[in-house]
Amino acid sequence: MCPSGSGFRLYLLLHFISQKDTASIPHTTFHKKKHLKMTKIFIINGGQKFAHSGGKFNQTVQDWTIEFLSKNNNYEIKTTHIESEIDLQEEVEKFVWADVIIYHTPVWWFQLPNLFKKYIDDVFTQGHNNGIYKSDGRSRVNPDINYGTGGLLHGRKYMLTTSWNAPATAFTLPGEFFDETSVDDGVMFGFHKMNKFTGMERINGFHFHDVEKGATPENIVIFKENYTKHLEETFKNL
């Protein structure tokens, strides 16, 4: 959102494109050939309906992710949409089950959408001494050190995608709004620290910019092409 424009126009455009490209992609668990050692992927769709935002773009990004992964027999996929009814223990078990967690989220007013933030608060709290984290990592003997080392999700990796009304140049050009600070080092800094607290390792994410004013059919195709290339490079090196 993060002051944005015509969400309805974006909704219609993505709906038209998704009918051709992704309408047949299921949003449930994929079970591939059992004799292969599969990489387990947990995808979280943080988009939601609010004001003029219909949550369509992040659903489309999730569809692109599943479309890419489903071409390979080595992946098993589980998904969650934060607007769905949530069983907290089941969500904790998905984090524990996964090798890679993929977060798809819009950025609203320079933060996560409210339902996505609530999802994280509730699920991670449910995961205390229950698979996600044990403590903050410190001891009473020397409480000044080792903060943030009590996570239980070591060995797992995560990838973040975000979508913005802001253009990429707002982060890179001198004098522009974000003071030449990247998405990851600025607005999403706390999000990355949150995942580090659980023990997860960050892999390179992808940020979609200018998704409202720049939401032309041509640009949506470019978004998909660039994101697919990113997935190819990322999963080739996992």
- Which CATH number fits the domain that encloses residue 181? 3.40.50.360
- Amino acid identity, position 149: T
Can you name the residues that pair with 161 across neighbouring β-strands?
104, 206
pTM here is: 0.87
**31 found inside a domain:** no
Measure the CA–CA gap between 167 and 175, rounded to whole angstroms: 14
**32 found inside a domain:** no
The parent domain of residue 112 ranges over: 7-21+39-138+146-236
Find the largest Cα–Cα distance for the chain: 61
How many separate domains does the chain show?
1
Give the up-direction half-sphere exposure of residue 2: CA atoms within 13 A in the CB hemisphere. Answer: 24
Give the up-direction half-sphere exposure of residue 224: CA atoms within 13 A in the CB hemisphere. Answer: 22
Pairwise pLDDT comparison (182 vs 29), residue with the higher score = 182
**33 found inside a domain:** no
- The CB density around residue 26, as the number of other CB atoms within 10 Å, is 11
**106 found inside a domain:** yes
Mean pLDDT value across residues 152-167: 98
Is 88's pLDDT higher than 90? Answer: yes
**115 found inside a domain:** yes
pLDDT digits (tens, 9 = 90+) for 184-225: 999 999 999 999 999 999 999 999 999 988 889 999 999 999
Which of 203, 174, 194, 177 is CA-nearest to residue 41?
203
